[in-house]
Structure 1
Amino acid sequence: MLRRRRRRPTPWDTLREQHPQAAEALDRLAEDDTWSDVDRARILTALERRGDNPAATAELADEIVRYGPATLMHQSSLRDLPGDRKAMHNLQLGQVRLGRTVQDPHADRTLATDFGVDHDVLRTSMLVIGPPGSGKTRGFAWPIVENLSLSALTQQASVVVVDPKGDDFAHDEWFDVTIDPLSPTVGFDLYGGTDQPDTAADRLASAMLPPQVSDDIAYFMDGSRNALYACLAPFHLAFGRWPKIREMLALLRSEQDMTDKVKAALRGPDGKDAKALLDSRHEQATRNADPAASLIERFQLLARPRLMELFDRERPFRMHDINRPMRVRVSLPEAEFPDAARILARLVVSQFVQVTSAPDTNRSIFKALAIDEAGRFVDDYVARGVQKLRSNNAGLLLLAQTISDFPVQVRATVFGSVGCKAVFGGIDPVDAKVFSDWFGEHWVSEVSFSQGESIGGARNAGRSRDSKGGWNRQDGESQTWGTSKGTNLRRVERPRWSVSDIVTGIPPGHCVVSLSRSDGTRTGPTLINLRA
């Protein structure tokens, strides 16, 4: 006789045993029409996190009794997103439904089921390639971003969205912070909230002078980083803050008034080394070929009134803030400030990777960065950092029209580092070949038929006597015709998805997806109907 397995107690059961008054309060809330799945997920997640700490559980139980559905409310005070949702969600598990699998001969299994992703899948990062109008933004990115925005309300996630067009993700109440240079109501910290001059210099130089847009050779790139450090370190030591745009330009140009001002504020034993850095920058700037000349010109692009208002604001948004549940959208005004918009985007991307890769990052919440037109904003630092993110509970959602949008030196790194890949029909055959090779081959049964005709015959020769007793020669020949048919069955390896299948065989509103989990579990390429 089989024994019935005991049901594992849930956090709600534990609360009922230890704090019955709080459990009764939750029971009453569950019967209220205003009780949402966001409220339930937020409180149950808090109970799970405090399960091993009786004191923290008791404190939470007291808050449940006192505040009810407002317990642990998100800073926005929202308990749901306004309007109709664009997808189905299981917020307790961090899941979002994207569509439905399609019965397809390319797959090993053809069972049609609902298809979705969760935070554990997204933390392996995802690359989505599709031509304009294929549905990668509306059908793929919107549901995921909506899920992450809801997860932030449940205190489970932070999300940063880079919106190159400025209106693809401009949904009411989806975000707490909107970085928009055309309407700078919130500032953006150039330095990402770091207090280390070397880190600030490296990240800022990478964003200002990425290899794909700069003609500088490695010497000039290194010279630019050294120039930034020689300016940032003394200034931060002297004033305890980072320079603003105009101050940064004056330092890079080694203007005498600014140099004297910084030197006058330097004190102590570290001040001597800092003054030496300023002198080294002055010597560097007076060369025939200043290695930081291109850097100065790029900073000059940011010295516009509206952009300075964005970057020089007091109490700006710092990327380090995503270590608590936060929803951020970065709108890029590429039509008005094309170069400055790309600099801003690269700053956002590199700072996100820097913050989420740091040892002090908050691993208790999932942190996601969604980038549309990602190929223009990903450099080698970001590409190398993708693999570090999953161990820190963070991931990237990279959307692009073609793999060729990524710089040549990072394409292989990006494609190999992301755990999940999705491709839409109509892409370039070169991209389709990359995906076809990645999806691999499988064994299929191949039947061949044969049919042929055969001709057979015999020839006879002999002698016979004639009526007069002589001998006559007789020759004879006979022929037969036949038809033969054959069937041959064999097992051969063929691509799961050939190049032509990917280019022309994926229907509109569909995509082929291959997923991976943080423990290394993978799923084969599956055809998904995003409109189902």
Structure 2
Amino acid sequence: MDADGIHDTSHRVPRPAAPPPRPASPPSAAFIPPPSRAPGSGPTVAEWLRVSRPNAEAGVWRYGYVPRAAEEPEMTPTRQLVTGASLSLLAGLMLWSLLWNGYLGSFWIWPLLMFTPDSWRGTTSFVVAGWIWYCIVGGGLIFGFGRLGRWPELLRRIVRRPAAGTVAALPAAPGETEDPAGWPQLRNAGLGEAAEHLAREAEAGRMNDVDYVRIRRAWESVRADSSRLRPFDASVRDKGAGACLHPSGARDLPVRAARHDLLVRQVFLGTVDSGARTPYPRRGTGFALDPSVLGTSLLAVGPSGAGKTGRLVRPVVESLALQALAGQAAVITVASAGAQLGPDAAFDVVVRIGDPASVHDLDLYGGATDADEAGVLLGEALVGDIPGMDVRRAATALAQLLGPFRAAYGRFPGVPELRELLEQVQAPLDALRQALEEAGQQAMLRELDARVRQQSVLGDPGHVLADRVALLDRPAFAGFFDTSGQGRPFSMAALEHPLRVRIDLPERGHADASRMLARLLLAQFTTAAAVRTDRSLFAFLAFDDASHTLTAGTLRGVQRLRSANAGVLLTLRTLDDVPEVLRTPLLGAVGCRMAFAGVTTWDGKRFAEAWGTEWVETRDVTHRTVFADQPLTRAIHSFRKLVTGKAVTTDAVTVRQVERERWSASDLAHAVPPGHAVLSLASVSGERAAPLLVNLTT
């Protein structure tokens, strides 16, 4: 937010050296989905606010959603409806013909004769009354035979209504007594002039959805702290829709590749399949994600080319970037260099590790000031993926060097310095020991001496740590991970600010180092998100490829995010990229699971086990040949068999309740069409949605 006294944090938020130029069109458009609508088209903010958003279960796109009945109504086949309507029409016409031509007598005109005076006979009045009576009788016949032939149902079947979950128009939300576009919350608080100004901005098209949500968020902070009321009022009256800006000054993203509803913080992913295995209330409805489900974390598995980046990661990151501009979220995305996750202008901080032109650096220690905490984070990243390696011993070994170094020099060591200490290079050790002696740090001297002694013990992790640190001590990374204070490092300590961050890893040519940095970032995020003092912002970390990133320690950290208003998005090509002992715990740790088209049966088996079983009704039909006893019946059966080629049979139907997998491994591997995925969701409140087949291309 801007320095209007509302949320002045701009002096603590890192910014790019200069704002990059705004592109005229999204780069590499062939690899990302097109925007849902052209810029400037679609409803205005006022119209957008007035669309109904009824409460619905997790994952339902609520914008204009029309709830359905819990069960599918019994449907009569269209052919049967047409036949019945035709027969009733013919019967009605025949009855009218019989009445009109007098074949049934004249009883049906007795009411006409009874309720008209005798003086009307032969006059125009009697003729008019007769035609009125004929219309009444004809209308009664139409009504009666129409009900008998189910004409209204046939007409509805022919002229189908819009499917549930679609928006045929922009209806006003049912039951709202005040127009949300008129800012009634401000009027009720006595800020009538500010509310009128914002309402004019919305009606004139000078306000977008980000502006509305951002100002509403600022108003919520005013309600929590009344001292902010006067600065808020002055900012709104002075700047209108541009009040309470994000520190970057941006009011929207350069380009949107997905549909968003910021009022309820949802991003549209696709349409639920209308097949028979989908519960009737969800057939054809929109599918969306929001922080209430992303807060339980999401795991997505699918082969290369299945659409994980363009149809999942980018829409989610884009949604949270918009929420960050509105002061509601902080999002960090980690991907290999060149991943299509949006232009640089869509982010506040872009860290290109290994690129000399990168404006920002990465804090190797995640903003930690305690040597033991820094040792745990770094140890998890360096050796957490090595089977049999005790991460706690590695963390202790690192802390025995990090603590003395910080006590002597007031900072943690850089990568070359840490490598020399781990390799027991004599000159740096002697210099460190001398600095500690001069500073009177006897406790730290004992730590350093203990590390030197343990280095020669069999099984000490020091040598392995040195080898892993050497992966970062390469010419390509020269100048990165600087701890001298000369650079501009990004730290996870900034999660308390509404930041948009993208970290590009040097996957091409430095795969091992990239995986190690990915583990480090995940460990730093889970720690920093859990210890935030202000958890009002939703913190999210998205991995475009989480292969070889998870360890036992980071998985425990992921499980703690749900209560910290934070979550992660992990995408994998296959579960084989996760250690075998962690595959089942991983599926249990995340609340949202997603299997893309093309997963293997081995991966499908894991998902099938996680989703469990359900009771379904099955029908077994047994065909039995009918043997006739009477000669005439046998002759008829013989003639029917001669004509149809089939014997006369009877069907015996057995209905049973059986327990069956919601989605079997075979179904996931072979029955999911391209461009589709099977998703299950859970919300932070405990609500769960069964796995659904979703078309991600609509």
Distance apart, 1:202 and its partner CA: 0.9
Greater displacement, 409-418 / 164-173: 164-173
Question: How many residues are treated as equivalent by the alignment?
Answer: 499
Choose from 293, 304, 310 the match for 1:138: 310
State whether structure 2 residue 515 is matched by structure 1 residue 345: no
Deviation at 1:305, TM superposition (A): 2.9
Q: Deviations over 1:494-519 (max 9, x none)?
A: 22222222111111111111111111
Specify the code of the residue in structure 1 equivalent to 2:505: L
Please give the alpha-carbon distance, in whole angstroms, between the structure 1 residues aligned to 2:624 and 2:652: 9
Matches within 5 A, 1:489-504: 489-504=655-670
Which of 161, 168, 187 aligns to 2:361? It is 187
- Bigger mean CA offset, 249-258 vs 506-515: 249-258
For residue 381 of structure 1, what is the amino acid of its counterpart?
Answer: G
Show structure 1 runs of 5+ residues with no match: 458-481
The residue matched to 1:173 in structure 2 has which SS?
A: helix
Check the 8 A contact 2:353/2:503 in 1, yes or no.
Answer: no
8 Å CA contact 1:384, 1:413 repeated in 2: no
* Cα distance in structure 2, aligned partners of 1:455 and 1:95: 63
Give the C-alpha shift of residue 39 in structure 1: 0.9
8 Å CA contact 1:223, 1:292 repeated in 2: no
Q: Which deviates more from structure 2 when the two are superposed, residues 279-288 or residues 259-268?
A: 259-268
**In 1, Cα distance between the equivalents of 2:460 and 2:580?**
28
Taking the TM superposition and a 5 Å limit, the aligned residue runs for 1:122-521 are 122-164=294-336, 166-183=338-355, 184-211=358-385, 214=386, 217-218=389-390, 221-266=391-436, 271-287=441-457, 290-312=460-482, 314-358=487-531, 360-452=532-624, 486-521=652-687
Change (3 A) 1:294 1:52: closer
Residue 121 of structure 1 and its aligned partner are, at CA, apart by 1.0
* C-alpha RMSD of matched pairs (Å): 2.6
- Cα–Cα, structure 1 residues 383 and 453, in superposed 2: closer, same or farther, change >3 Å? same
Equivalent residue of 2:361, what SS? coil
1:93 aligns with 2:264: yes
CA distance in 1, matches of 2:229, 2:284: 42
Q: Structure 2: how far apart are the matches of 1:198 and 1:125?
A: 28
Partners of 2:649 and 2:489 in 1: how far apart? Answer: 86
Q: Deviations over 1:322-363 (max 9, x none)?
A: 2201111111112222222222211111111110122x3431
Q: CA deviation at 1:8?
A: 8.3
When structure 1 is superposed on structure 2, of 35-44 and 68-77 the one drifting more is: 68-77
Give the direction of change, closer, same or farther, for the CA distance of 1:390–1:287 in structure 2 (3 Å limit).
closer
Check the 8 A contact 2:298/2:592 in 1, yes or no: yes
Task: Read off the aligned partner of 1:243 and give its amino acid letter.
Answer: P
Higher mean displacement: 398-407 or 446-455:
446-455
- Partner deviation per Cα, 1:146-181 (whole Å, 9 max, x = no partner): 101111111111111111353232524221112212
| Pair 1:108-2:301 in alignment | no
**After superposition, what is the alpha-carbon deviation per residue over 1:277-317, rounded to whole angstroms, capped at 9, x for unaligned?**
11112222345665310111111121123313121152311
Secondary structure at the counterpart of residue 478 of structure 2: helix
Distance in 2 of aligned mates of 1:39 and 1:485: 65
CA distance in 2, matches of 1:280, 1:68: 63
Structure 1 residue 222, shift from structure 2 partner: 4.3
% identity of equivalent residues: 36
Q: Which 10-residue stretch deviates more, 255-264 or 424-433?
A: 255-264
For 1:484 and 1:182, locate their aligned partners in 2 and report how far apart those are by CA, in whole Å.
75
Structure 2 residues not aligned, in runs of 5+: 1-173, 630-647
What SS is found at the alignment partner of 1:487?
strand
**Superposition deviation, residue 486 in structure 1:** 2.7
The reply to whether residue 43 of structure 1 matches residue 219 of structure 2 is: no
Contact 1:126-1:398 within 8 A present in 2 as well: yes
From the superposition, tell whether residues 504 and 215 of structure 1 become closer, same or farther in structure 2 (CA, over 3 Å).
Answer: closer
* Contact persistence 1:107–1:524 (CA under 8 A): no
Confirm or deny: 8 A CA contact 2:376 2:392 kept in the other structure.
no
C-alpha distance in 2, partners of 1:249/1:330? 24
Instruction: Please tell me whether the aligned partners of residues 446 and 490 of structure 1 are also in contact (alpha carbons under 8 angstroms).
Output: yes
> In structure 1, which of residues 519, 524, 527 is the aligned counterpart of residue 690 of structure 2?
524
Q: Which moved more, 1:248-257 or 1:70-79?
A: 248-257
Task: Tell me how far 1:384 sits from its aligned partner.
Answer: 0.8
For 2:518 and 2:623, locate their aligned partners in 1 and report how far apart those are by CA, in whole Å. 65
- Mean Cα deviation higher: 105-114 or 412-421: 105-114
Mark the CA change 1:268 to 1:390 in structure 2 (over 3 Å): closer, same or farther: farther
- In the TM superposition, what whole-angstrom CA distance separates every residue of 1:410-430 from its partner, at most 9, and x where no partner exists? 212211011111112221101
Query: Could you say what secondary structure the match of 1:321 adopts?
Result: helix
The answer on whether the counterparts of 1:186 and 1:310 sit within 8 Å (CA) in structure 2 is no
Q: Deviations over 1:118-149 (max 9, x none)?
A: 11111011111111211122112211111011
Task: From the superposition, tell whether residues 516 and 70 of structure 1 become closer, same or farther in structure 2 (CA, over 3 Å).
Answer: same
Q: Is the 8 A contact 1:130 1:136 kept in 2?
A: yes
Distance 1:31 1:408, change over 3 A: same
Amino acid paired to 1:81? L
Checking the alignment, whether the CA contact within 8 Å between 1:166 and 1:332 is kept in structure 2 is no
More off after superposition, 347-356 vs 331-340: 331-340
> Which has the larger displacement, 174-183 or 283-292?
283-292
| 1:16 match | 187
Task: Label 1:456 to 1:71 Cα distance change in 2 as closer, same or farther (>3 A).
Answer: closer
Return the alpha-carbon distance in structure 2 between the equivalents of residues 289 and 6 of structure 1. 69
Cα deviation code 1:390-443 (max 9, x no counterpart) = 111100111111122111222122110111111122211011122223333333
Distance 1:104 1:27, change over 3 A: same
Query: Matched residues in 2 for 1:490 and 1:14: separation?
Result: 56
Q: What is the Cα deviation at residue 37 of structure 1? A: 1.0
Distance 1:172 1:277, change over 3 A: closer
1:486 alignment partner, SS class: strand
Q: What residue in structure 2 maps to residue 464 of structure 1? A: none
Retained in 2: the 8 A contact 1:19–1:58? Answer: no
Matches of 2:586 and 2:494, distance apart in 1: 26
In structure 2, how many angstroms separate the alpha carbons of the residues matched to 1:456 and 1:322?
82
Compared with structure 1, are the counterparts of its residues 450 and 170 closer, same or farther at alpha carbon in structure 2 (3 Å cutoff)?
closer
Matched, 1:66 2:238: yes
Q: Which residue of 1 aligns with 2:15?
A: none
Structure-1 residue corresponding to 2:26:
none
Higher relative contact order (CA 8 A, sep 6+): 1
C-alpha displacement of 1:13:
2.0
What does residue 475 of structure 1 align with?
A: none
Q: TM-score, normalised by structure 1?
A: 0.87
SS at match of 2:498: coil
Look up the equivalent residue of 2:266 and give its one-letter code.
Q
Whole-angstrom distance in 2 between the partners of 1:99 and 1:49: 34
Opposite residue 191 of structure 1, the aligned amino acid is Y
Structure 1 counterpart of 2:149: none
Amino acid corresponding to residue 297 of structure 1 in structure 2: D
Equivalent-residue separation in structure 1 for 2:502 and 2:649 (angstroms): 73
- Once the two structures are superposed, what CA deviation does each residue of 1:456-476 show, in whole Å capped at 9, x if it has no partner? 99xxxxxxxxxxxxxxxxxxx
* Whole-angstrom distance in 1 between the partners of 2:460 and 2:301: 40
| C-alpha deviation, 1:229, in angstroms | 0.7
